[in-house]
């Protein structure tokens, strides 16, 4: 069974190595560890020293046009400072990169014209409208501050 040591600092150390100090394999692996090992998918397990394989899928839905528009518009909102950073801190606006991202959405709109469903077309048009209005409002605020 795994050795457990308690220290006065509140940390608990559990020896989960499969081999004993003399190099022999431990036979009595606790039930919890066996269940965890069996529950892990084969693709996530790796031998020591072998790089872990990335998960095949990080999202629930298949990538599509809606996800692309959502990704680009969220990126633009982040660049405009409309979305807080990972710790909740305010992010300063990066106007040149925000403009590039909005421009990419415009290119996407032009290149897909006539090939989108009505819902996809509306989604892209609304995203562009909101981003353009936010961009202009932010430019006006920055102009007032600099006067």
Is residue 82 scored above 90 in pLDDT? yes
pTM assigned to the model: 0.57
Confidence band (pLDDT; 50, 70, 90) for 43? very low
pLDDT attached to residue 35: 53
Q: How far apart are the first and last CA of the chain?
A: 72
Task: Report yes or no: 2 and 14 within 8 Å, Cβ to Cβ.
Answer: yes
Bigger pLDDT: 77 or 27? Answer: 77
- Non-local CB neighbours of 31 within 8 Å, separated by 6+ positions: none
Beta-strand pair 4-6/12-14:
antiparallel
- Give the model's pLDDT for residue 34: 52
Sign, Cα dihedral of 29, 43, 54, 63: negative
Q: Rounded to the nearest 5°, which phi and psi values hold at 46? A: -145, 155
Are the beta carbons of 45 and 55 closer than 8 angstroms?
no
- Mean pLDDT value of segment 57-66: 74
Greatest mean pLDDT among 38-42, 58-62, 124-128: 124-128
Per-residue pLDDT band at 136 (split at 50, 70, 90): very high
Residues with Cβ within 8 Å of residue 74, at least 6 apart in sequence: 83
Closest CA to 48 of 73, 68, 18, 74: 18
Average pLDDT, the chain: 79
């Amino acid at each position: 069974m795994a050795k457990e040591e308690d220290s006065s600092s509140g940390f608990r150390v559990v020896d989960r190595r499969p081999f004993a100090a003399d190099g022999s394999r431990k036979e009595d692996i606790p039930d919890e560890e066996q269940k965890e090992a069996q529950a892990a998918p084969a693709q996530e397990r790796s031998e020591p020293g072998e790089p872990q394989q990335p998960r095949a899928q990080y999202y629930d839905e298949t990538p599509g046009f809606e996800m692309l528009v959502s990704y680009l518009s969220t990126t633009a909102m982040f660049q405009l400072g409309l979305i807080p950073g990972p710790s909740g801190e305010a992010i300063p606006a990066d106007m040149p990169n925000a403009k590039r991202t909005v421009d990419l959405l415009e290119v996407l709109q032009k290149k897909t014209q006539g090939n989108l469903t009505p819902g996809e077309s509306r989604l892209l048009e609304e995203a562009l409208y909101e981003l353009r209005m936010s961009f202009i409002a932010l430019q006006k605020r920055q102009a007032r501050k600099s006067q």
